[in-house]
Chain A
Amino acid sequence: MRVPVQLVLGAALFALFLGAALLSLVWTPFPVTDLDIAAKLAPPGGGHLLGTDHLGRDMLSMLMAGARTSIAVALVAVGIGILLGVPLGLAAAARRGSLLDEVIMRGNDLIFAFPSLVIAILITAVFGPSALNAILAIGIFNIPVFARVARGAALTVWPREFILAARVAGKGAALISAEHILPNIANLLVVQGTIQFSMGVLAEAGLSYVGLGAQPPTPSWGRMLADAQTFFYGYPRLAILPGLCIVLTVLGLNLMGDGLRDLLDPRLRRNVR
């Protein structure tokens, strides 16, 4: 089986940022909380590879630690979406047309009906801005997405004969969902996961930009963009660098999602019989 080019490219891009984030846990060129006002706005090269910001913090270290924040927030948010959304979707599919199905799907519609970023702003505004609340806000909107995908995919598996065979073997809906349905829809969930991941990165950057995400001194790409705003004419790199990081991470994840879909979805796979 040939691995699609997008997958390789996307995975490489994402691996770069993931590696940087993991490395920042143990080592960054400079501590990110170190303010060195004397060396503020230093140009790239010299002691600081990518220069320093207006408070004299090392840009490379900030970007590495910022990757950590972005990826952690998006990862946990996707996790919330999968852990809550997929069981809901499977339950709705197992009891198709029942009251339970209606309640779950109409609940999904309710969440879908609100503009996600506005609600995220509302949540963080009510409960106070923090990385944790940003995770919750983004995660809630992932639940209906995964519930829909899981339900839709599960509905196409339920009428198949091996499900009927499992029912004849006395298995209940929960066991069938876990044993037979889930493995057969996992590929779709993985693809959706990477797409939601990239949207999570974007949402976290957006929330931090308006000051509702990770709070200083925790570095964050969105926060860095907001800080760089006033210096944009004099020092455009302060905004361009974190902006580029966001774009490349999202691009990498989307490419990965496309590639995985091509790889895992047999309907899109071209094969000569």
Chain B
Amino acid sequence: MIRSVLIVDDSRLARMMVAGLIAERWPTARMRETESAEQALVAVAQEAPDLIILDHSMPGAAGLDAVEKLRASAPRAQIALVTANIQNTTRRRAADAGCHFVAKPVTAEKIDKLLADLGAGP
């Protein structure tokens, strides 16, 4: 059961799109947003979310480079890397880090597939 979601992306547009799609599916989910991996680490330390939607290319630390520290604070959180960097090497690194991979832009179909993969479909 996913009750809380943390969206980490430096693009306001990208955060708006993801937040809108998740709110349509889980109106009761608690949603927080941060603009960087560093802010995400602070947010996760305050309260561990069930799902972290994580951009890769951001000012400061890259998303994939922050996965280990995020897991240390939120060991049970599922992490989905959401990125325009669709290279095979990035997909492999995400898989090696135990992250789900979603190619930008995020669509309703991709969110539904992610939720199904997480076993939390609507």
Determine if chain A interacts with chain B.
no
